[in-house]
């Protein structure tokens, strides 16, 4: 009898597990469904999750004034090779085409020290608003643009460009000056 009292927790556990398996087997089995569907593929034809429309649909392009006023201003970038962990600091003037390690080119087009995007347009923010951003075009070996968009100094993760080997971060103007508005 004492032996039975020592084994009752184990016996109860076995009954519960056995009953659970029976209930599981009685449930209808359905084929697993994909949780995420890939509608976009990169150049290597490997599926990836699609980017949100507000990331890849370019609405807020710089206006001609932003381009003209900031032309020639030196901008600082950090380029990291994810494979070797090598970090390069680049200083590129707005409007200057610069070669990159991935065999392509980077072209900063415009700089805004106080960028705001309002109703799909890039505008200067109110007095005291600080959100440094640079509009860059990334080009392939043939100098054809494959990505263009804003890079932000305060939130470097807010970009749609995703390279399997390189990360590009905008650090701000090289001389600390803002535009000549």
pLDDT value, residue 181: 41
The label of the residue with tokens 């359905």 reads 30
pLDDT value, residue 155: 72
- Sequence-separated (6 or more) residues with CB below 8 Å from residue 179: 66, 69, 70, 73, 111, 112, 113
Does the predicted TM-score (pTM) go above 0.85? no
- Cα 97 to Cα 35, 72, 91, 93: the distances in Å are 42, 11, 11, 8
pLDDT value, residue 117: 75
Q: Which letter does DSSP use for residue 142 in this model? A: T
pLDDT value, residue 76: 94
Low-confidence residues of the chain: pLDDT under 70: 1-5, 15-16, 18-59, 128-129, 156-161, 176-181
pLDDT value, residue 98: 93
Bridge-partner residues for 168, per DSSP?
Answer: 79
The pair of structure tokens assigned to 158 is 């807010």
pLDDT value, residue 59: 62
* Distance, CA of 159 to CA of 30 (rounded, Å): 39
* Distance, CA of 19 to CA of 38 (rounded, Å): 39
The pair of structure tokens assigned to 85 is 């962990």
């Amino acid at each position: 009898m004492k032996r039975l009292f020592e084994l009752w927790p184990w016996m109860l556990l076995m009954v519960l597990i056995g009953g659970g398996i029976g209930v599981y087997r009685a449930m209808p089995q359905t084929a697993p469904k994909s949780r995420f569907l890939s509608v976009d593929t990169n150049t290597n034809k490997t599926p990836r999750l699609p980017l949100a429309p507000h990331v890849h649909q370019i609405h807020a392009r710089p206006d001609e004034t932003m381009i003209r006023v900031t032309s020639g201003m030196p901008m600082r970038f950090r380029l990291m090779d994810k494979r070797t962990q090598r970090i390069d600091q680049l200083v590129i003037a707005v409007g200057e085409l610069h070669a990159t390690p991935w065999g392509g080119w980077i072209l900063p087009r415009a700089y805004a020290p106080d960028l705001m995007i309002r109703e799909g347009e890039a505008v200067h923010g109110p007095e005291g608003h600080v959100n440094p951003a640079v509009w860059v075009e990334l080009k392939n070996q043939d100098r054809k643009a494959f990505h263009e968009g804003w890079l932000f100094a305060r939130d470097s993760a807010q970009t749609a460009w995703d390279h399997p080997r390189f990360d590009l971060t905008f650090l701000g103007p090289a001389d600390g000056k803002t535009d000549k508005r």
